[in-house]
């Protein structure tokens, strides 16, 4: 069942003579190893077993390996930066035949799956990991190592747990796939506006017919605009709603051009915040009159 992994580990030993760990296994293979570890430890049987399709590793040594590998300072381009010790602390070891196999724990793999460009298969992988139980505090701690997501890692982990727990898996999958840009836009609002903002964002993501990738592009572009809005909460909300409405009538490339060629240059070269606010007010009230 685990031949692909055991053959690789036999060819490329995971530990050196000094007992130093050379690499840990991540990705889909790590999910399968987590499942084997869980079943062995608890005696429970899992139904939704993850097939092994490829082998991803985080290389902790100077060795070269004939598989998809990455370094601890930017794990699979997620922006997650961890020390070797931190990676080992978030790893597990499973004895298979005559080999000890080191792999990322459930929380580490969940963070990697939800901070790249999440796909629908990543959503179902995280469901597999959640079935074995996820430690929310551990998730938050690892999310703090990821530079690509906002500092409010509690919101990120809370949203993840909420999305993968939704009864409507289609909506949950869609929200999960937009999580990085969703959390980034949410972070542009002060504490007083975040609840209102999320309600609007959530409705937009669920109701629009755009793909998760297109939605992510739209939300990221709106976040760029809100980065210039240092006004009251009500005005921030109006700007976001106006741009979300605009995005509904445009494909994501046209909306991207609109933001980058019509909106951002004006905001970037405005003399002061007053000019920026005046420009955005015209945009908001023009849209309302129409």
Q: What is the DSSP string of 128-175?
A: HHHHT---HHHHHHHHTTBTTS-S-HHHHHHHHHHHHT-SSHHHHHHH
pLDDT of residue 28: 94
In Å, what is the CA distance from 247 to each residue of 219, 243, 256, 282? Answer: 9, 6, 9, 18
pLDDT of residue 206: 97
Q: Where are the alpha helices (DSSP H) in the chain?
A: 3-11, 27-42, 84-89, 106-115, 120-131, 136-143, 153-164, 169-177, 179-186, 191-207, 212-226, 233-248, 252-257, 264-269, 273-289
Is residue 40 within 8 Å of residue 31, measured between CB atoms?
Answer: no
Is residue 50 within 8 Å of residue 114, measured between CB atoms?
Answer: no
pLDDT of residue 290: 52
Whether pTM exceeds 0.85: yes
Average pLDDT, consecutive stretches of 10 residues, N- to C-terminus, the chain (290 residues) = 90 88 96 97 95 93 92 84 93 92 97 91 96 95 90 91 95 97 94 92 96 97 92 90 95 97 95 91 72
Question: Which residues, in sequence order, are CB contacts of 18 under 8 Å at separation 6+?
Answer: none
Closest CA to 205 of 226, 183, 233, 228: 183
């Amino acid at each position: 069942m685990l031949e692909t992994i055991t053959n690789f580990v036999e060819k490329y030993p995971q530990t050196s003579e000094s007992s130093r760990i050379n690499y840990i296994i991540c990705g889909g293979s790590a999910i399968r190893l987590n499942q084997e570890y869980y079943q062995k430890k608890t005696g429970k049987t899992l139904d939704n077993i993850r097939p092994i399709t490829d082998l991803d590793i985080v290389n902790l040594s100077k060795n070269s390996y004939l598989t998809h590998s990455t370094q601890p300072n930017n794990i699979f381009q997620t922006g997650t930066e961890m020390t070797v010790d931190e990676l080992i602390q978030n790893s597990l070891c499973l004895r298979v035949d005559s080999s000890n196999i080191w792999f990322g724990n459930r929380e580490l793999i969940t963070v990697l799956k939800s901070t790249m460009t999440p796909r629908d298969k990543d959503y179902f992988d995280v469901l597999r990991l959640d079935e074995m139980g996820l430690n929310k505090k551990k998730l938050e701690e690892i999310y703090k190592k990821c530079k690509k997501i906002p500092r409010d890692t509690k919101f990120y982990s809370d949203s993840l747990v909420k999305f993968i727990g939704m009864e409507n898996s289609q909506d949950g999958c869609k929200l999960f796939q937009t999580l990085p840009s969703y959390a980034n836009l949410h972070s542009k609002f002060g504490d007083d506006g975040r609840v209102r903002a999320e309600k609007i964002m959530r409705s937009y993501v669920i109701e629009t017919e755009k793909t998760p990738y297109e939605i992510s592009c739209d939300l990221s572009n709106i976040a760029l605009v809100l980065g210039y809005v240092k006004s009251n909460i009500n005005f921030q909300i109006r700007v976001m709603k106006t741009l979300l409405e605009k995005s509904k009538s445009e494909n994501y490339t046209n909306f991207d051009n609109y933001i980058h060629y019509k909106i951002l240059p004006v905001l970037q070269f405005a003399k002061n915040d007053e000019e920026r606010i005046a420009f955005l007010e015209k945009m908001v009230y023009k849209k309302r009159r129409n």
